[in-house]
A and B are shown apart, each in its own frame.
Chain A
Amino acid sequence: MVGGEVVLSLAWLIPVFPVLAWLIIGLSGRKMQNRGSGIAIPAVLISFLFSLAVLVQVAQGQSYHTSFTWLEWPGFQITFGFQVDPLAAMMLVVVTLVSLLVQIYSLGYMQGDSHYSRYYANLSLFTAAMLTLLLADNYLLLLIAWELVGLCSYLLIGHYFRNPGVPQAANKAFLTTRVGDFGFMIALMAIFNATGTFNFQEIFALAQTGAISQGTLVLVTAGLFLGAAGKSAQFPFQVWLPDAMAGPTPVSALIHAATMVAAGVYLIARSLPLYLVVPQVMQVVAWVGGITALLAAAVGLVVNDIKKVLAYSTISQLGYMMLGLGVGAFFPGVFHLMTHAFFKALLFLGAGSVIHAVHTQDMREMGGLGRRMPYTTLAFLAGSLALAGVFPFAGFYSKDSILAAVYASGNSVLFWMGVVAAILTAFYITRAVVLTFWHQPRSQGAEQAQESSPVMTVPLLILSGFALAAGWLGADFSGNILGGFLGTEFHLPRAIHHYVTRIATVAALGGIVLAIFTYLFRWFQPSVLTQRFPQCYQLLQQAYYFDRFYNRVFVTGTIRVAEFVAWFDQTVIDGLVNAVGRLGKNLALLIAKIDILLIDGFVVGFGHSVGRAGDRVRRWQNGLTANYLLSLVWAVLISILTFKLLG
């Protein structure tokens, strides 16, 4: 219908509202004070409603694509544009919804913050950038939005920049993702070199007709994956995410759980047509995802900071998504992306609520909050069950589909890695729940904790609903609405699907039960294990010493190089320059000296030599008569001889 066309054609406005909010808040400066949220939230709300409208249109089979020329010179043309297809439409809704809920939540959480408006401005900018990323129809625009998102992450992590360690955390996040972005840019250059365009559709078409060489495609996909691994904190780039927890918790919820980190997964999902042509790279993606999922989950077992648990959990779950995409399962990967956005945001916001009430992030100082903060507890439980993958919560369906896809791809190692990771996931999240909400308070803060205000709890409950129901969209019993919507086919033989489901459920329940026995009933003491295997414990505690390694190799290395270059510049180059200067000066002096010496020497020397010659000659007159006589004799003799000889 006509209205629908209009809606879609104006879809590019969706990011504009948050941008306007950012501009208004930003330019108002100090005058905004605490009114920033009044600008930002309505902007996001409008974007959300708009996104819903777009979703409705796309669900009716519509899609939209437009582009305009940005740069043109002989032989080349770079176009920009945006496209609205099912994947983008779904992500738009997810991002705007979560952003909206987070911003509402922040009304309570960030109350009294001295930089309230700056926070909202940055959040708005971030939302705008993320939305632009989703709407981009070409890699170049995507990259621009990608970088912008990274910038906002830096700004938001560094919100409390006066606190110790915070600026470093922000730097770390930015720099680590930058390394990955390097790969992204190489990929872009290779793509443009091979195809002359950045546009998705054109590139995919060319790839499918085999117009792009295998080598180029490997380079491109590898480069893109590098960027995605950086953004999505996969191994070996995962080091920035735990440190990013230094930012405000709502930021962690929005950016580092639901959206920004998902951008990497989104990129791979978008580029899947390219990946399908290079199976070896897909293998790499799957393995990296699987390893990340397993190892990160293991670290989550031993951390005591509730936010860090969730951070490692995010890394692990992103690994799952990569694993899914890596085996070519577009739907499971994207499905899990969606469900994870909801339940991870929920978990973070719940943790934020706890932190806000107890004023600590260390779970060892919590406890007994179940009685004191019922809504929060409920929400958090919902999120935990979703994360663990328990029926009928969302995570069950999405994780299940991924595991099924992995199993179906035939790679049993990866499959069992995923299963073990699932066990660990269930274990660590149950541990977190028990430590936080059960037993008695272990500190004064926990004792005096109170439930948070509705402005915080309502978003929690809304998200809990999604954590429960979101999975149903992709479930078989509902006919896989989501799958149909996204236009992907995902069918597995029932037998396999059931088999996998059983194993996944056993894994999840097993993990939960184990954790309950350990922490709730206290039948096992974890300290026994930690004392028996201290190196193992240390290894996990230090997150496999990645930080220490990177620090020593790259940071110190770079500093050394910088020092060397500085030394080189000062000593060698400056020395060289100075030496040349000195040389010039000395040369000039030398020439002056030579000049004086030569010319004066010549003149004076001439006089001197005459004097000296005269001096020597006058000694002839020694007063000895006989000498004079002898000279006479000789003179005569020689004259005679000469005359005689000359005739």
Chain B
Amino acid sequence: MSFEQVLFIIVSLILLASALGAVFARRIMHSALLAVAAFTGVGGIYAILGSHFLAVAQVLIYIGAVAIVLLFAVMLSQQREISGSNPVRKQKLWKNWVTWAAFGVGLVMVLYFTVNLATPTASQEIPLIHTEPATSLEGLSELLFREYLVPFELVSLLLLLVVIGAVVIARKENDPQ
């Protein structure tokens, strides 16, 4: 087991733990903070895998923007706390066999595929990700501004719209600003 693998395992464990915590935390604030930790973990994964740019982008976008917005929303919606919202819906859905069946099936599938991939067959070796060499920034930008130019422009338009829209939605009614 190489250093990278160990590192990978550690980071993924932290990630998963944070994710679990984010889901099952009693208070939203904790949940949001743990989400931040999860995002960080994901960024770490990207870095280990060799997508350095994406790792940085992850931190910038998610932790720098999404998490902030999350926290703002949490704070705005909790101005008067009333016995906290139940973390987990105590409803049929939790006891519902359909839900757990779905999970069961999904789990089986995931395990099957991963195990499939993890077992070496006669014809090929198990797939490995080569963490070195890392993705070059030049190559990325080449791709982005050449082949994916149109999507790039569209996404920027989308972002613009989203900003405007969010402002419109979130502002107060009687405020004609």
Q: Assign chain B's interface to a size class.
A: under 10
Cβ contact within 8 Å between A626 and B89: yes
A6 interfacial contact with B, CB 8 Å: no
A195-213 Cβ-contact flags toward B at 8 Å (1 or 0): 0000000000000000000
B82 interface residue, CB < 8 Å from A?
Answer: no
Binds B, one of A264-272, A601-609, A629-637: A629-637
- Scan residues 65-119 of chain B and give those whose CB is less than 8 A from a CB of chain A: 89, 93, 98-99, 102, 105-106, 109
Residues in A neighbouring B99, C-beta threshold 8 A: 630
Partner among A627, A634, A640 whose Cβ is within 8 Å of the Cβ of B109: A640
Q: Check B93–A637 contact: CB distance below 8 A.
A: no
**Chain A interface mostly helix, strand, loop or mixed?**
helix
Q: Tell me the complex Cα distance, A634–B109, Å.
A: 13
- In the assembled complex, the CB of B102 is this many whole angstroms from the nearest CB of chain A, namely 5
- Minimal beta-carbon separation of A625 from chain B (angstroms): 11
* Contact in complex: B93, A626 (CB < 8 Å): yes
Tell me whether B89 and A637 are in contact (CB under 8 A).
no
Q: Given the complex, which residues of A lie within 8 Å of B106, measured CB to CB?
A: 633, 637
Complex Cα spacing A256 to B102, Å: 119
Within 8 A of B (CB), among A615-647: 624, 626-627, 630, 633-634, 637, 640-641
* Contact indicator B89/A630 (Cβ below 8 Å): no
A637 touches B105 (CB 8 A): yes
Assess whether B98 is in contact with A630, with CB atoms less than 8 Å apart.
yes
For B89, what are the chain A residues with a Cβ–Cβ distance below 8 Å? 626
List of A residues within 8 angstroms of B105 by Cβ: 637, 641
Contact with A along B48-80 (1 / 0, CB 8 A): 000000000000000000000000000000000
Report A445-487 residues with CB < 8 Å from chain B CB: none
Residues of B within 8 A of A633 (CB): 102, 106
Report the Cα distance A641→B102, complex, angstroms.
12
Q: How far is the CA of A72 from the CA of B172 in the complex (A)?
A: 129
Residues of chain B contacted by A627 (CB below 8 angstroms): 93
Task: Find chain B residues with CB under 8 A from A630 CB.
Answer: 93, 98-99, 102
Question: What are the residues of chain A within 8 A of B98 when measuring CB–CB?
Answer: 630, 634
Report the separation of the CA atoms of residues A624 and B98 in the bound assembly, to the nearest whole angstrom: 15
Residues in A with CB closer than 8 Å to B109 are 637, 640-641
Q: How far is the CA of A634 from the CA of B89 in the complex (A)?
A: 20
Give the residues in chain A near B93, CB-CB below 8 Å.
Answer: 624, 626-627, 630
Residues of B within 8 A of A624 (CB): 93
Q: Which of A231-289 contact B (CB under 8 A)?
A: none
Complex Cα–Cα for A630 and B97 (A): 12
| B102 to A, closest residue via Cβ | A633
User: Separation in Å of the A644 CB from the closest CB of chain B?
Assistant: 8
Q: Which residues of B contact A637 (CB under 8 A)?
A: 102, 105-106, 109
Complex CA distance for A627 and B98, rounded to whole angstroms: 10
B93 (CB) vs chain A CBs: closest residue: A626
- B89 (CB) vs chain A CBs: closest residue: A626
Contacts of B102 in A (CB 8 A): 630, 633-634, 637
Contacts of A626 in B (CB 8 A): 89, 93
Q: With the chains together, A633 CA to B101 CA distance in Å?
A: 11
State the Cβ distance, A622 to closest chain B Cβ, in Å: 11
The residue in chain B whose Cβ has the minimal distance to the Cβ of A626 is: B93
B12 to A: closest C-beta gap in Å: 23
B140 CB, nearest partner CB in chain A, Å: 30
Bound: A627/B105 CA distance, A? 17
Instruction: Give Cα distance in the complex from A505 to B102, angstroms.
Output: 136
Q: How far is the CA of A389 from the CA of B171 in the complex (A)?
A: 154
Closest Cβ of chain B: how far from A227's Cβ, in Å? 103
Q: State the Cβ distance, A66 to closest chain B Cβ, in Å.
A: 120
Give the CA-CA distance A276 to B85 in the complex, in Å. Answer: 133
- Assembled-state Cα–Cα distance A641/B106 (Å): 10
A42 to B23 CA separation, bound complex (whole angstroms): 145
A644 nearest CB neighbor, chain B only: B109
Nearest-neighbor residue (CB-CB) of B106 within chain A: A637
Q: Which residues of B contact A634 (CB under 8 A)?
A: 98, 102
Q: Complex Cα distance A641/B99, Å?
A: 17
Q: Compute how far the CA of A633 lies from the CA of B105 in the bound complex, rounded to whole angstroms.
A: 11
CB distance from A630 to the nearest CB of B (A): 6
In the docked arrangement, what's the CA distance between A637 and B93, Å? 18
A301 to chain B, nearest CB (A): 115
Inter-chain CA distance A337–B89, complex, in Å, is 130
B97–chain A nearest beta-carbon distance, Å: 12
Residues of chain A in range 553-579 having any CB-CB distance to chain B below 8 Å: none
A562-598 contacts to B, CB under 8 A, are none
Interface 0/1 of B16-39, CB less than 8 Å to A: 000000000000000000000000
Query: Shortest Cβ distance from A470 into chain B, in angstroms?
Result: 129
Q: How far is the CA of A543 from the CA of B109 in the complex (A)?
A: 118
Min Cβ gap B13→A in Å is 25
Distance to closest chain B CB from A632 (angstroms): 10
Q: What CA separation (Å) do A25 and B98 show in the bound complex?
A: 117
Bound together, the chains give a CA A12 to CA B32 distance in angstroms of: 146
Closest-CB distance, A628 to chain B (whole angstroms): 12
Whole-angstrom distance between the Cβ of A13 and the nearest chain B Cβ = 123
A119 smallest CB distance to B (angstroms): 114
Measured CA separation A641–B93 after assembly (Å): 23
> How far does the alpha carbon of A346 sit from the alpha carbon of B176 in the complex, in Å?
151
Interface string of A85-114 (1 = CB under 8 A from B): 000000000000000000000000000000
> In whole Å, how far is B107's beta carbon from the nearest beta carbon of chain A?
11
- How many angstroms from the CA of A111 to the CA of B66 in the assembled complex? 148
CB distance from A232 to the nearest CB of B (A): 109
Give Cα distance in the complex from A374 to B47, angstroms.
173
Cα separation A630 to B102 with both chains bound (whole Å): 8
- Chain B's closest residue to A624 (CB) is B93
A633 to B99, CA, bound (A): 9
In whole Å, how far is B87's beta carbon from the nearest beta carbon of chain A?
14
A640 contacts across to B, CB distance below 8 A: 109
When C-beta atoms are compared, the residue in chain A nearest to B101 turns out to be A634
Q: How far is the CA of A341 from the CA of B105 in the complex (A)?
A: 128
- Nearest-CB distance from B96 to chain A (Å)? 8
- Identify the closest chain B residue to A636 (Cβ): B106
Within the complex, the shortest CB–CB distance from B160 to chain A, in Å, comes to: 28
Q: Which residue of chain B lies nearest to A638 when distances are taken between CB atoms in the complex?
A: B105
A116 smallest CB distance to B (angstroms): 117
A626 to chain B, nearest CB (A): 6
How near does chain A come to B63, taking the closest CB pair, in angstroms?
26
* A627 nearest in chain B by CB position: B93
User: What is the bound-complex CA distance between A626 and B105, given in angstroms?
Assistant: 18
**Between-chain CB contacts (< 8 Å), 5 pairs:** A626-B89, A630-B99, A634-B98, A641-B105, A641-B109
Interface on A for B, CB 8 Å cutoff?
624, 626-627, 630, 633-634, 637, 640-641
Other 9 A-B pairs with CB < 8 A, given A637-B109, A640-B109: A626-B89, A626-B93, A630-B93, A630-B98, A630-B102, A634-B98, A634-B102, A637-B106, A641-B105
Give residues in B with beta carbon < 8 Å to A.
89, 93, 98-99, 102, 105-106, 109
Pairs of residues from A and B, 6 with the lowest C-beta to C-beta distance, nearest first: A633-B102, A637-B105, A626-B93, A634-B102, A637-B106, A630-B99
